[in-house]
A and B are shown apart, each in its own frame.
Chain A
Amino acid sequence: MSESNSSSSRVTWEGCSVLLDINDGDRLVFARLSPAAKLKIGNKNCSLQPLIGRAFGTVFQVDTAPNGPYLSPAQVNVNNAEEIGDGQGNNEMDKVNVNNAAQARDGEVNVESRDNRALVDNNTAQSLTGEDIEAMRRQGARGNEIIEALIANSATFEKKTSFSQEKYRLKKQKKYAPKVLMRRPVARSICEAYFKKYPSKIGFLRVDTLSLLLSMANVSSNSDILVVDMVGGLLTGAVAERLGGTGFVCNSYFGQAPYSMDIVRIFNLSDEICKRILRSPISDLLPKESPEQVLEHDVCNVESQSNDQTSALASMDEISHSSENGISDIGIENTEPAIEIRKAPKAGERPQKEIIDSWRENGFSSLIVAAPELDAWTLVRDLLPLLANSAPFAIYHQYLQPLATCMHNLQLEKMAIGLQISEPWLREYQVLPSRTHPCMQMSAFGGYILSGTKICNSTANSSSNRTVLL
C-alpha cells in the first residue's frame, strides 16, 4: 500500500496501525503490524504477520498448527447464494451467528415456551471435565468442536430458553474460539476504544461529543483550526483526519512543553496529513506587541500533564510482552520525537514563520478547546482574538460551571454571539424480533460544549435596540 493513500486504504500493510477487537469489545488493542509482532489471546501467543495485507473488517480466529497457534481469517458467510465461499470447514464461527439469527426469527413466530423453572444451579450439569477438554485439544480439536461437545454433554442445555442457549454459546465461544476483529483506527474507533477502556485519558470525551465539536467548529478542508488539545491528541488527530491534508491544525500550548499527542500516531495518517499538524506555543501566536502575559496560565498544570504522559497512554490493553515482541504499544511514547524507530509520521512540527505570519494576518478559521485542566474563560479570552471575524468556536469541558462562567463573560464582553451550552445524550438500542429495547447499560454523560461565533470587536456599542446577545 502506498504511503500516500494510507489513511484511506482498506487493506493493511506492514507498519500499519490497527485496532484489534477481541471477542466483541472484551479487549481492545491498538497494534502496529509487523512480522515480529505478537499478541497474546487467552493463553496463546499469536503472530500478527497473518494480518498484514488483509482487508480491514476481517475477523480472525485462532487455529492450531504443528508449530503453534496462528490467526487465520474466519470465513464470512454472506447469505445470498452467489457469494457463498467454498465453505471449507472453518466457518463454524459464523454458524453461531446464523443460529442466533434463526433462533431469533423463531422467537418472533412462536413465543418462547420454556422458562427457567427446571434449572438448578448445582454445578453438575456439565459432564465433560477439564481433562476431557484438554485431551480433545491435544487431538487437535478446533474451538468450535469443543463448544459442540460442551453443548452435547450439557444436561441442561436443551431445557434453556433459546435466548439463554444463545448466551451459553457466546460464553463458550469467547473462551474456546476467540474472535479477533481487525478495525481501521479512525477518529470514531479510537475515541470509542479509549472511552470504553481509559476514558480519563481523553478527558471523558465521548464520540458523539467529539463529532459535535468538529461540526460546531466548522472543521472543513482548507481551514486553519486552532486547537488546545489536552486529551492526548485525540482532538488533533480527529481534526487532521477531517482536513485530509489541506489547511492546518495548530495544536497550541501554554508554557514550554507541548501537551502529549500520542494518540495522533494511532491514526494511519498519511505524510501529507501529518505535515498539516503543527505545534506551537500560544505565546508565538499572539500579536507581537502584546507581552507574554498569557503565560501566567498554569505552568504547574502543564507539568503535571507531562508527568502523566508516560503512564497516561500505557497501552490500551494489558499487552503482555510489548516491545520486544514487536507489538508497539502505540500509546507509549517518549516525549523526545528523536526516538522514532519505525517510519512513523512526523506530526507536530513547529510552524514556519510564514505560516505564523499568515495566521496573524488572516486569523484562524475556528477554535476547538478540550483542556480540562485550564480555566475556560481566561483561555477563550486570550484565544478568541486570534480567530477571524465570524469564526465559530467550540469549547469542551466535563464540568458545566467553567463553561457557564465563560459564556456569561463572553456575553458581558460582547465578544461572541450564538452562544450555547449543549450536552449530547446518546442511547443505544438492542434491536431483535420481539426483544427491542434500550440497552441495559449506557453512558450517562458525554461532556458539555460551549459553542458560539466570534463577532467583530466594534467599539461603537451604543445601540438603541435591546436585543439580548444570546
Chain B
Amino acid sequence: MLACHPAKMLSFNRLISDGDLVIVYEKHDSMKAVTVCEGSVLQNRFGVFKHSDWIGKPFGSKVFSSKGGFVHLLAPTPELWTMVLNHRTQILYIADISFVIMYLEVVPGCVVLESGTGSGSLTTSLARAVAPSGHVNTFDFHEQRAESARADFERTGLSSLVTVKVRDIQGEGFPDDFSGMADSVFLDLPQPWLAIPSAAKVLRNDGTFCSFSPCIEQVQRTCETLRTHFTDIRTFEILLRTYEVRQEKMQSSREDGNDSNGSLPSKRRQCSDGSYVLGSCPSISSVMARPCGEARGHTGYLTFARVKCVS
C-alpha cells in the first residue's frame, strides 16, 4: 500500500500483477478489496470479471466483464482501505483519523502506541504517518481480532511498520518496556481513564495523547483523570459535510412571457442519456452544489493532551 518499497511506488509504468491488492471501484460508496489471482474471477452485479484480464493493465484502468459492465481498479491507499475493510468493530473514519494524526503530531520516525486495534482503520493511517523508520505498537485484548488485524496488515504490506499484540490495556496498562519510549498514545477504550496512568508512563516528555470516546460521560472522566499528569487538555468533535454537484437548468422568469410557469428552479433531473427534459421556455444552465441530505451526525469526541514537561 505504501511506497516504502520502490517496486510498489505508483507510476505510469506500474502494472497490475498477480498477487497485487487492488481496490475494485464500482462507485463512490461501493468498493471492494481484491487480491489479484491468476485464474480467479470477480462476480458482481456488472457481471463476471476475469483477474487474468487485469494483469498487465495499469492501476486506474477501467476493466470490463463478460457482459460488458465495467469497474475501475485502483491502487490501495489507507483512505480506500478504510472504506473496504472488514468491520470487526466500529471504525474511525477519515475526518477523525486525519485530525488525530495531525494533532498527535505523528511524523516519520515516531513510536505510537494504540489500543484497541479494532478493525485497524486508524492503525493503517498511523503506519503511513510513521513510515519508513517509526513503528506502531497496537494492542487488543481480543485474540481473534488481533489475529485478523495481523492478517490485514500482512495483506496491505504494513506488517513491517505495525506490531499487533494481545493485551488488556485497561486492566494491565502498556508493557513496562515502553516506559518513556512513546511519542504518542491513542486510546479507543470503553474506560480510557483506567489506562491513563500507564499512558503517562510510556510517553516521552511533551509526548501527545488522544482518547476517542463516543459518550460525553467517558470524556468527563477521562479529562478529570488527565489533569494529574497532562496539560493542554482539549476536546473536539469533527464531522464531515459532503456536497453533491449537478448541472441544473432554471427557467428564466423574464423572457417569452413564460412567467406564468413560475420561476422556481426546474425540478427535472438529468435523464439517463444525459439530456434534459425541458419545455420550450428559455432557461439558464448552471452547475450548483448543495450539502448531501444525510450525514453522519456523531462519531465520537476526541480528547487530546500533552504530558506535563518535567525539565
Contacts and interface: CB of A to CB of B under 8 A. Distances in A.
Contacts, number: 263
Interface in B115-133: 125, 128-129, 131-133
Nearest to A455: B60
Given A223-B3, A392-B79, A433-B220, A58 B289 contact: no
B68 A222 contact: no
Contacts of A362: 9-13
A10 B204 contact: yes
A431 B206 contact: no
Given A55-B309, A363-B10, A208 B243 contact: no
**Interface size range of chain B in the complex:** 35 or more
B234 to A, nearest CB: 6
Nearest to A460: B62
Contacts of A465: 46, 68-70
A54 interface: yes
A184 B27 CA distance: 42
Interface string A56-93: 11110000000000000100101110010100000000
Contact of A425 (B77, B110, B227, B240): B240
A422 B2 contact: no
A101 B227 contact: yes
Contacts of A419: 28
B25 interface: yes
A388 B10 contact: yes
Contacts of B9: 222-223, 362, 365
B220 A470 contact: no
Interface in A215-244: 215-216, 218, 220-223, 241-244
A221 B219 contact: no
Interface in A109-155: none
A56 B231 CA distance: 13
Interface string B229-263: 10101111111111101110000000000000000
B99 interface: yes
Nearest to A449: B240
A211 B272 contact: no
Given A57-B206, A79-B228, A242-B129, A431 B4 contact: no
B97 A215 contact: yes
Contacts of B233: 431
B269 to A, nearest CB: 12
Contacts of B223: 431-432
Interface stretch (A33-41, A197-205, A299-307, A402-410): A402-410
A212 B242 CA distance: 13
B98 A421 contact: no
Nearest to B289: A404
Given A186-B105, A188-B103, A392-B79, A420 B61 contact: no
Given A54-B311, A215-B78, A221 B60 contact: no
A42 interface: no
A187 B102 contact: yes
A186 B102 CA distance: 9
Interface string A372-406: 00000000000000001111100000001101110
B79 A215 contact: yes
Interface string A412-443: 00000111111111111101110010000000
A23 interface: no
A277 B62 CA distance: 34
A428 B302 CA distance: 9
A431 B289 contact: no
Contacts of A220: 2-3, 128-129, 131
Contacts of A207: 99, 102-103
A251 interface: no
B243 A184 contact: no
Interface in B48-96: 58-62, 64, 67-70, 72-75, 77-79, 94-95
Contacts of A208: 95, 98-99, 102, 238
Interface size class of A (residues with CB under 8 A): 35 or more
B210 to A, nearest CB: 12
A444 interface: no
Contacts of B58: 389-390, 456
A246 B12 contact: no
B190 interface: no
A421 B291 CA distance: 9
B137 interface: no
B247 A426 contact: no
B3 A458 contact: no
A221 B132 contact: yes
A432 B233 CA distance: 11
A7 B107 contact: yes
B94 A417 contact: no
B206 A56 contact: yes
A341 interface: no
Given A10-B204, A421-B243, A465-B70, A431 B27 contact: no
A58 B309 contact: yes
B102 A214 contact: yes
Interface in B130-151: 131-133
Given A73-B311, A211-B99, A215-B98, A421 B245 contact: yes
A26 B97 CA distance: 29
B224 A433 contact: yes
A83 B310 contact: yes
Contact of B26 (A218, A453, A467): A467
B102 A388 contact: no
Contacts of A352: none
Contacts of A184: 105, 206
Given A76-B311, A455-B60, 20 more contacts: A56-B309, A57-B306, A57-B308, A76-B309, A80-B229, A211-B103, A220-B131, A221-B3, A222-B9, A223-B3, A361-B12, A361-B13, A365-B9, A389-B60, A390-B73, A390-B75, A400-B289, A422-B242, A467-B27, A470-B28
Question: What 8 pairs across the A-B complex have the smallest Cβ distances?
Answer: A244-B108, A389-B60, A211-B102, A57-B309, A390-B60, A57-B206, A390-B59, A362-B11
Interface of A: 7-8, 10, 54-59, 73, 76, 78-80, 83, 85, 101, 184, 186-188, 207-208, 210-212, 214-216, 218, 220-223, 241-247, 361-363, 365, 388-392, 400-401, 403-405, 407-408, 417-429, 431-433, 436, 448, 453-456, 458, 463-468, 470
26 contacts: A55-B205, A57-B206, A83-B310, A208-B102, A215-B94, A215-B101, A221-B4, A221-B131, A222-B4, A222-B6, A244-B109, A244-B132, A246-B132, A361-B11, A361-B13, A389-B61, A408-B245, A418-B25, A421-B245, A422-B241, A423-B241, A431-B219, A448-B243, A453-B74, A463-B62, A465-B70
